[in-house]
Amino acid sequence: MHIHILGICGTFMGGIAQIAREAGHQVTGCDKNVYPPMSDALRANGITITEGYGAEQLAVAPDLWVIGNAVSRGNPLLEAILNAGLPYTSGPQWLSENILTGKKARTVLAVAGTHGKTTTTSMLTWILREAGLHPGFLIGGVPCWGEQSAALGDPQAPFVIEADEYDTAFFDKRSKFVHYRPRIAILNNLEYDHADIFENLQAIETQFHHLVRTMPSEGTIIANAKAPALDRVLARGCWSKLERFDTPFGTPDGWTLAEDGSASLGAEVFGAVKIHMPGRYNELNALAAVAAARAAGVLPQAALKALESFPGVHRRQEVKGEADGCLVIDDFAHHPTAIHETIDGVRGRWPGRRLLAVLEPRSNTMKLGTMKDRLAGALADADAVFCYAGPGVAWSPEEALKALGSHAWATHDFDALVTQVVNAARPGDVILCMSNGGFGGIHGKLLAGLKAKAESRAGA
C-alpha cells in the first residue's frame, strides 16, 4: 500500500510514517515548513517529503491519504482530496487498522494522562525491551536510548503507545486514544488542558471514559489513586481489572487486594525505585510503568532493575551544556503542574544551587491565558523567573507574575530575554528552560552568551 501523510513532520505522524515504512508500505508525505530532526529521520528511511500542501500533490496518487490533526478545512491539498472523492483516514485509525488490531491483534499498552505520558511510555518501552520482548512503540518524544520515537517491533510482541487525548482529525473529534483498543492502560493523572478544543475538564473526563469503555473485561487499568478527575471517570463505569498506584498502603511486594477486587501499588515500592530522573512525579511515572509491565508478564523486580539503567528522555531535565559555571537545562514542561513538579525535581537533582526558571508559555492553552493565574504559584520555588511571551500571547506576563515581585521579569522581546538571563546568571546557577517548542534555540544562545561573559571577565 502507498500512503501519503499530511502533516508528516509532527512527532506522532512522523512515528506512524516510520512504522508504516518498517511494515513494508510505500510512504510519502508533506508538511508546512519541513524541519529536522524528523525530516532527516524520515528521509533516511527512504520517505519522500514535499514542502507545503499544494493541490498538485494529487499527482502522487497514493492508495490512501492519511490526514494529521494539524490539517484543517481550507488546506488546499485537503480540499482537493475531498473534491476528488479520494479515500482518506486519520493517523490513529490507520495505525489501529493496520498495525494494532485485526486477525493478528497485538497486546496494546496505552499511556494516557495530562502529564508524564512521554516519560512513562519511554520507561515502559525500556522495561519491555530489557525483558527481551522486542516491543513496538510510538512515543511523543525521543528517548535517549536512540534517535527513534517509533518502531514496529516484533509483530507478535506488545505495542506501547503514548495515548494522547487531543482530537483525531478534522472529521473525527474523538480523542486519538479511542482508536487504540488497549489491553493494558495507564491513567497517569487528569487535569484541565487543551483549552483550544475542550470546553472544560468534564469534557476531557468524557473522552477518558470513552477509552475505559473500549477496555476488555480481561484487561487491566492502572490508575493514579490521588487524581479526583480519574475517580469520576472510573465511577461512570469500569469493566476491567483495576489497579491503583500512589496509595498509602500495600504488601511487601507492593500490591494489595481491596474488597472490590482492585489492586493497589503501595508506597513501599517508592524506596525500590532507582532512576536517574529525580522528582516524585518521575517516581510515580516509574511506578505506573512497573505496574503495566507486571500486567504484561514482567516481574516487578526485573522492571525495577531495568529502570536503574533507563537513560531518560530528550527534553526532560536534559542538560544542554555548561558555561561560566552555569548548567543550562531543557525541559518540555508547559502546564503549571508540570512546571512546579519540574522545578521540584531539578532542585532535588542539583541541591543547594540557585535555580533560574526561564519559561515560554507556548502551548495553545497557555497562549489563550487559561492557566495564567496559576503561573506565579507554579514558579514560586525558583530563585528567579524569566518569562518570554512570544507571538500569540495576548495576556500580560508582567501582570500574571506580579505576585513574585522582583524575583520575576517578563518580556515580549526574545533577544532581551537572553541578555537578561545571561546578565543575571552567576557561576553555580542552574538555568531551567521550559517550553513545549524549540524556544528559539535559547539553550545554545544562553551557553554562547555565558561563555562570552566568562571570557570578557577573564580578559578584564
Angle at the Cα of 268 from the Cα atoms of 262 and 273, rounded to 5 degrees: 105
Residue 367, C-beta contacts closer than 8 angstroms, at least 6 positions apart: 361, 392, 393, 394
146 is in an annotated binding site: no
Alpha-carbon separation of residue 320 from 120, 313, 448 (angstroms)? 22, 13, 12
242 grid coordinates: 483495576
438 is in an annotated binding site: no
Question: Measured between alpha carbons, how far is 333 from 433 in angstroms, rounded to an integer?
Answer: 9
366 grid coordinates: 497557555
113 is in an annotated binding site: yes
* 318-323, strands of its sheet edge to edge: 318-323, 326-331, 430-434, 355-359, 384-388, 408-411
167: β partners: 175
Helical (H) or strand (E) element with 186: strand 184-187
Question: Measured between alpha carbons, how far is 241 from 225 in angstroms, rounded to an integer?
Answer: 15
Helical (H) or strand (E) element with 458: helix 442-459
Q: Give the largest CA-CA distance in the chain.
A: 73
φ, ψ (nearest 5 deg) of residue 45: -95, 15
372 is in an annotated binding site: no
CB-CB contact of 120 with 246 (8 Å):
no
Q: Which of 345, 339, 383 is nearest to 359 (CA)?
A: 339
Coil, helix or strand at residue 164:
coil
CB-CB contact of 185 with 215 (8 Å):
yes
411 grid coordinates: 518580556
Say what angle helices 280-295 and 117-130 make with each other, to 10 degrees.
50
Question: Measured between alpha carbons, how far is 83 from 63 in angstroms, rounded to an integer?
Answer: 16
152 grid coordinates: 514496529
CB-CB contact of 341 with 115 (8 Å):
yes
| Amino acid sitting at position 435 | S
118 is in an annotated binding site: yes
Neighbours of 396 (CB within 10 A): 14
Annotated binding site: 113-119
Annotated binding site for ATP: 113-119
